[in-house]
């Protein structure tokens, strides 16, 4: 007996169950031709201090508001960022060869109309970089690690914003 008919039957029976459990695709449009992404573009992202905060905010703006910031936001997103560096690998002379860069972001998504907190939490992005003899190369490696971590953290926060907005509607 082939598994193909059984799998086909299972798929046919499971698709209606998705609608019954409240599943809604994130990018699908409702009856008024609006999607959750329209609401995501109505998020006001507060300014984040420091260079790494600027990098994180810029990636969030690209992900949440690709057509530009709205003049009438429905939601406000505030983020506090903390960055740490830990040396890991050491030579016999006790000089670090590898360093871990950890970027933590505490975020809070608030609906402006009633100041209800829709989603909050702390996320972390971690990346490593090599420390070499050249100070310039080590600084460039750290800068690249900082940008990668900021991009990663921003994407994680954007996902949490989508979940918060999707759950509120």
Distance CA 153, CA 124 (A): 6
List Cβ neighbours of 2 (8 Å cut-off, separation of 6 or more).
none
Predicted structure pTM score = 0.74
CATH of 35-168 among 3.30.70.2740, 3.40.630.20, 3.30.160.150, 2.40.50.180: 3.30.160.150
Q: Which two tokens stand for residue 97?
A: 């060869």
Q: What is the pLDDT of residue 18?
A: 61
Distance CA 35, CA 87 (A): 45
Could you read off the pLDDT of 92-113 as tens digits, one per residue?
Answer: 787 788 899 999 999 999 999 9
Domain boundaries, the chain: 35-168
């Amino acid at each position: 007996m082939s598994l193909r008919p059984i799998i086909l039957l299972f798929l046919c029976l499971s698709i209606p169950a998705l609608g019954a459990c409240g599943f809604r695709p994130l990018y699908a449009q409702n009856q008024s031709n609006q999607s959750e992404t329209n609401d995501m573009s109505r998020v006001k992202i507060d300014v984040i201090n420091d260079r790494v905060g600027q990098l994180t905010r810029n990636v969030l703006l690209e992900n949440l508001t690709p057509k530009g910031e709205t003049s009438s936001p429905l939601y406000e997103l505030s983020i506090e960022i903390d960055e740490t560096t830990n040396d890991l690998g050491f030579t016999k002379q006790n000089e670090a060869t590898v360093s871990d860069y950890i970027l933590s972001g505490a975020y809070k998504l608030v609906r402006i109309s009633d100041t209800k907190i829709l989603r909050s939490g702390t996320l972390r992005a971690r990346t490593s970089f090599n420390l070499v003899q050249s100070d310039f190369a080590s600084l460039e490696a750290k800068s690249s690690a900082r940008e990668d971590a900021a991009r990663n953290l921003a994407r994680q926060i954007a996902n949490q914003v989508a979940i918060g907005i999707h759950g509120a509607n």
